[in-house]
Amino acid sequence: DGTPVWSQVLSEQRGEVRHALEVELAPPAEGDAFHATRVLSLDSNWPQRLSWSNQCTFKQWFTAEENLRATRYCEQVVDRPAHSLNPVMVVAEPQSGCSHLLHATGQAMLRRQEGHVLYITAADVNGVDGLDASWHHALPGATALVIDDVHEFASHDSWRHQLGVLVDQALNHGLQVVAGGRLTVGTFPPSRLKEVFRGSVEVRLSSPLPPTLMAFARWRCAQRNLLVSDRHLAQLSRMEPRGWRMTEARLEQLVIAFEDGAVLLDSDDVDVLLQGGTTVAPVEEMQRV
């Protein structure tokens, strides 16, 4: 109506509504579906955007024979997103580090600063209603879609269709799709999700063997400036259950024991320590060593 903007703002703050517009021309109310706050809330509803993190990145990832091919595929995806390898399906064995690899891939693509990265985990199966999920506003501006434990969605009645529609739309929008799970696409129940991933590039991710875990433990010791004998590292890598996380946790137990003054003379001392016992050599023996 020609009123200066500053005057209209002051009038609204004071509760003085002058020259109010008619209903047809008035701006949408805060509770209206077209209001800016409602639109922004829809944008951040689901899937969640991956936030910047220094944990579980390629800096902490240890490349070995068991994960070399999967690592190269993910690196190719980061270098050339949404090109020839799209979508990528990582078929992982238990304790193979699949979640770490997927998160590291998402973080690497996020650092390209070409758009946000959408991240979906198995927690969304029970935490979000697949029929009511508002994901249409999350795709614009995104550069990648990362899905962890996709086999959990494939076995769910509603999610195996809804997630398939989401992945299909993401591919049509030019997003890079990277998924990981325990099962191959051929074993999925008939669904939209299976149809979408039928043309994916599958790559295997195997569980680490004891020699790989020993090399990993030696690598972590070098990063932390720790002096641990190969005899102790070999004992760590052979203990059950085996895996990247368990090896890291057992190595941390050794560090704490060394800081407390423990002296581990043989593999039996390592077993006692990691099983909850205490292994501290007598003073005379420590001096002799």
Q: Is the pLDDT confidence value at 270 over 80?
A: no
Q: What is the pLDDT of residues 98-145, one digit of tens each?
A: 999 999 999 999 999 899 999 999 888 887 776 666 777 888 889 999
Q: At 10, is the pLDDT very low, low, confident or very high (cuts 50, 70, 90)? A: confident
Q: What is the pLDDT of residues 173-195, one digit of tens each?
A: 999 999 999 999 999 999 999 99
Q: What is the pLDDT of residues 221-251, one digit of tens each?
A: 898 888 888 888 888 888 888 899 999 988 8
Q: How far apart are CA 180 and CA 198, in angstroms?
A: 14
Query: Residue 1 is encoded by which pair of tokens?
Result: 């109506």
Question: Number of helices and strands (H, E) in the chain?
Answer: 13, 6
Q: What is the pLDDT of residue 108?
A: 95
Among candidate residues 103, 96, 74, the one with its CA nearest the CA of residue 216:
96
Among candidate residues 234, 215, 242, the one with its CA nearest the CA of residue 254:
234
Q: Which residue has 């020839």 as its token pair?
A: 84
Q: What is the pLDDT of residue 42?
A: 43
Buried b / exposed e over 97-114, threshold 16 CB at 10 Å, is bbebbbbbbbbbbbeeee
Secondary structure of residue 146 in the 3-state scheme: strand
Among candidate residues 182, 185, 215, the one with its CA nearest the CA of residue 199:
185
Q: What is the pLDDT of residues 40-95, one digit of tens each?
A: 444 446 888 999 999 999 999 999 999 999 999 999 999 999 988 999 999 999 99
CA-to-CA dists, residue 38 to 49, 135, 136, angstroms: 18, 14, 14
Among candidate residues 178, 173, 193, 196, the one with its CA nearest the CA of residue 73:
178
Q: What is the pLDDT of residue 77?
A: 94
Q: What is the pLDDT of residue 143?
A: 94
Q: At 23, is the pLDDT very low, low, confident or very high (cuts 50, 70, 90)? A: low
Q: Is the pLDDT confidence value at 39 over 50?
A: no
Q: Is the pLDDT confidence value at 25 over 80?
A: no
Q: At 271, is the pLDDT very low, low, confident or very high (cuts 50, 70, 90)? A: low
Q: Which residues pair with 36 in a beta bridge?
A: none
Q: What is the pLDDT of residue 282?
A: 42
Q: At what angle do helices 230-238 and 244-259 cross, to 10 degrees?
A: 140
Quick check: 52 and 107 in contact, CB under 8 A? yes
In 10 A of CB 73, how many CB atoms? Answer: 20
Q: Is the pLDDT confidence value at 33 over 80?
A: no
Quick check: 73 and 85 in contact, CB under 8 A? yes
Q: What is the pLDDT of residue 21?
A: 62
Query: Residue 85 is encoded by which pair of tokens?
Result: 């390898």
